[in-house]
Structure 1
Amino acid sequence: MPFLLIRQKFADYAPWREAFDSLDEQRKALGLETVAVMRNMQDPSEAVVLFRFDDIERVKQHFPSPALEEAWRRGGVVEGSSEATFLQDLTD
């Protein structure tokens, strides 16, 4: 099963988390399952999120999307800090 790893920096965790949570239904509709939401221990202004999914084409529709970009703005995501990496589980 494939995974998507997101890393991004934010100004303040509480607004970032609220914006992240506001997209939960949209992510579910795309088949994205949240595996883990973490903060970088060496840089607490960085979030690291791991998702699991089945259909990469559906997921790519979300990156970037107007709703996602609006959530990033509301959440105080530092412009240019978002990294998306698609991963393949080698145990499949």
Structure 2
Amino acid sequence: MAYLLVKHTVEDYSKWKLGFDDHEATRKEYGSKGGMLFRTSEDPNSLVILLEWDNIENARKFTESDELKKKMEDLGVITKPDIFYLDKIEDVSF
């Protein structure tokens, strides 16, 4: 499995979330399989996004697209995103 992990801060979570949801079809076109959203306990506008992808190459194409850069700007992303491309190697259970 391939994953994309992104951490960034937004001006207003509610505004950002509406746009994030609206952008779902575009993520799917690039190969996203969905994922999870997290926020830090200290700041509700500091987000961590973990999305599953069909492959790393499509995740890279998505994050490098001009369309995404414009969307992030429009939605009030105020920090440079930290982006990690991850390959799942194991499930761990206790």
Scaled by the length of structure 1, the TM-score of the pair is 0.86
Q: Percent identity?
A: 27
Contact 1:23 1:68 in 2 (8 A): no
Other structure's SS at 2:63 match: coil
Paired residues in the alignment total 91
Contact 2:3 2:56 in 1 (8 A): no
CA RMSD between the two structures:
1.5
Contact 1:9 1:77 in 2 (8 A): yes
Match of 1:75 in 2: 75
How big is the shift at 1:22? 2.0
- Distance between the aligned counterparts of 1:57 and 1:87, measured in 2? 11
Segments of 5+ residues of structure 2 without an aligned counterpart are none
Scaled by the length of structure 2, the TM-score of the pair is 0.85
How big is the shift at 1:18? 1.6
Contact 2:6 2:82 in 1 (8 A): yes
Per-residue CA deviation, residues 31-80 of structure 1 (Å, 9 max, x unaligned), is: 11222011111222211111111221122111121221121112110042
- Distance between the aligned counterparts of 1:49 and 1:75, measured in 2? 15
Contact 2:30 2:58 in 1 (8 A): yes
List structure 1 segments (4+ residues) > 4 angstroms apart after TM superposition. none
